Amino acid sequence: MIILKTGLELSILLEKITCNGTIGYVPTMGALHEGHLSLIKKCKSESTFTVCSIFVNPTQFNDKSDFEKYPVKLEEDIALLIQAGCDILFLPNVKELYPDGTTLETYNLGALETIWEGKYRPGHFQGVCQVVQRLLSIIKPNKLFMGQKDYQQCMIIQQLIHLIDFKTELVICSTIREASGLAMSSRNVRLSLKAKTAAVAIFDSMQYVKDNLSSNELENIKAKVTSNLMINEFSSIDYIAICNALTLESLTKYDSSVPVVVMIAAFIDGVRLIDNMLISH
Ligand code: PAF
């Protein structure tokens, strides 16, 4: 695996190799787990060259302590990427991606920016767009691979690609879960064993929504989910959203013709976890 730290070196290399095939790209913030590795695997199966980046992007953290506590495991990450057969790792520093400082352009992301994750993490999606636009313009991948676990982020990136008129195809890959159902996340390493066991209540709650949605008792379902999370060690809940999967508008009633996504964000053991489940009828 080739490791490069500057955009210039990377774009020169990629320009040389693009005439021989397609480029697939997996952006990450490191602390890699099975979820990231499944993106690398999918990327390799659909592209000639696989590029991964590791960059803990300061502009997308609305909470400074979350940024400071973000796990960094570079040596382990490199070993995992080599094992997974990644071709190129891009490892820029802050100066490389933000040579003129971190206050940058803003994107018109519409309502998607201010609901759910956007409401609880103001500025987060602007930061994600800033960094992803920079990375995309260096790498110019044919395909971009991202995880469904960050469902709203995937919708934002789809919008970004449209806004900046980029020719990259976004491939959304299924969430990888522990055997218990807990979604893999870099933040899970900060959970105590007890909290990790209790955190499966998010997955169980989404299953509960799925199984009971047709009863049309949406408020009762949310109340039940709230109490299920709270009796399972969760300390607070940002949202339990039962929405139209295409617009993220909250549903007021069940309608079998509307695709549904249930999304949950809640704190356990001082760690904010998010997860979602698509429900097809
Ligand atoms: O999902 C992530 O890990 C990050 O938001 C991303 C897409 C790598 C941008 O920093």
pLDDT tens profile 171-218: 999 999 999 999 999 999 999 999 999 999 999 999 999 999 999 899
Q: Is the pLDDT at 103 greater than 90, yes or no?
A: no
Q: Is the dihedral of CA 187, 193, 194, 199 positive or negative?
A: positive
Which of 131, 145, 173 has most ligand 1 atoms within 8 Å of its beta carbon, as the pocket-test mutant? Answer: 131
**Is 36 a catalytic site residue?**
yes
User: What are the counts of helices (DSSP H) followed by strands (DSSP E) for the chain?
Assistant: 11, 9
The Å distance, Cα 54 to ligand 1 centre, comes to 9
Give residue 102's pLDDT.
Answer: 84
pTM of the model: 0.97
Residue 95 burial class via C-beta count within 10 angstroms: exposed 0-12, middle 13-18, buried 19 and up: exposed
Q: Is 29 in the pocket of ligand 1 (CB under 6 A)?
A: yes
Q: Is the pLDDT at 281 greater than 90, yes or no?
A: no
Give residue 154's pLDDT.
Answer: 98
Give residue 96's pLDDT.
Answer: 97
What percent of the chain is predicted at pLDDT more than 90? 94
The stretch 22-49 carries a mean pLDDT of 98
Question: What tens digit of pLDDT does each residue of 75-88 get?
Answer: 999 999 999 999 99
Q: Is the dihedral of CA 234, 239, 243, 245 positive or negative?
A: negative
Give residue 220's pLDDT.
Answer: 96
The stretch 244-271 carries a mean pLDDT of 96
Residue 208 exposure: Cα atoms within 13 Å on the Cβ side: 20
Question: What tens digit of pLDDT does each residue of 140-150 get?
Answer: 999 999 999 99
Q: Is the pLDDT at 19 greater than 90, yes or no?
A: no
Alpha-carbon radius of gyration of the chain:
19
Give residue 105's pLDDT.
Answer: 81
Q: Give the H or E element holding residue 64.
A: helix 64-69
> What is the residue with the minimal CA distance to atom 2 of ligand 1?
28
The stretch 26-55 carries a mean pLDDT of 98
Give residue 216's pLDDT.
Answer: 85
Q: Is 31 in the pocket of ligand 1 (CB under 6 A)?
A: no
Q: What is the largest CA-CA distance in the chain?
A: 58
Query: Per CATH, which fold does 2-173 belong to?
Result: Rossmann fold (3.40.50)
> Is 186-274 CATH 3.40.50.300?
no
**Spatial separation of the C-alpha atoms in residues 243 and 258, rounded to whole Å:** 9
Give residue 11's pLDDT.
Answer: 97
Give how far Cα 165 sits from Cα of 10, 40, 134, 159, 168, Å.
Answer: 22, 25, 14, 10, 9
What residue spans define the domains of the chain? Answer: 2-173, 186-274
